[in-house]
Amino acid sequence: MDSASGAGASDPNSGGEGPSATRSAAAAEGSSPAPPSRYESQKRRDWNTFLQYLKNHKPPLTLARCSGAHVIEFLKYLDQFGKTKVHITGCPYFGHPNPPAPCACPLKQAWGSLDALIGRLRAAYEENGGRPESNPFGARAVRIYLREVREGQAKARGIPYEKKKRKRPNATAATVVENVSVAPYTNSRAWPKP
């Protein structure tokens, strides 16, 4: 046994088990790639689910013939598996963030889940050979639909959706310095001394 392989065995923290041992063994072999990240795994599952949806569509659709309208239809199909209570306008709890009792309003997919799903599918489409300009997940109709879902769910819960505001620098940090003269910069010498 050479010294490089013996060093790992004597390390009490490595134990030859766990993710670090697997990574170092894979790196030593150089043949097996690292497992996909959680995001990549989810993106692959979402992509396969969408392709299955197209296959089961009546009539079956090909990816090349898929449009933004089909994507919206897919998102509406997913609502049946949602877990977010969205109160309808006739519900006595419409506009209440924490209703005191249960109601018969439908469960739907949350806007944030749909937005993240579209982001993953948009990336997967392009990774699987689709052209960005023909990406149905980036269609204007899909963006409008997502905006309507966001606004509708915010009204139903009584919580207005507010865009995250950019942090602006403090007035003290952005003070104006007066009466400062700056000599023009030339390449022949360093900055002039005051």
For 134, which DSSP code? G
Distance CA 169, CA 135 (A): 38
Q: What pLDDT is attached to residue 48?
A: 96
pLDDT tens by residue, 180-193: 444 444 444 444 45
Q: What pLDDT is attached to residue 13?
A: 44
- Mean pLDDT, to the nearest integer, of 122-143? 94
For 193, which DSSP code? P
Spell out the residues 6+ positions from residue 157 whose beta carbon is closer than 8 angstroms to its own: 86, 87, 95, 96, 97
Contact of 68 with 140, CB cutoff 8 Å: yes
Model pTM greater than 0.85?
A: no
Q: H/E element holding 85?
A: strand 84-85
When pLDDT is cut at 50, 70 and 90, the band that residue 73 belongs to is very high
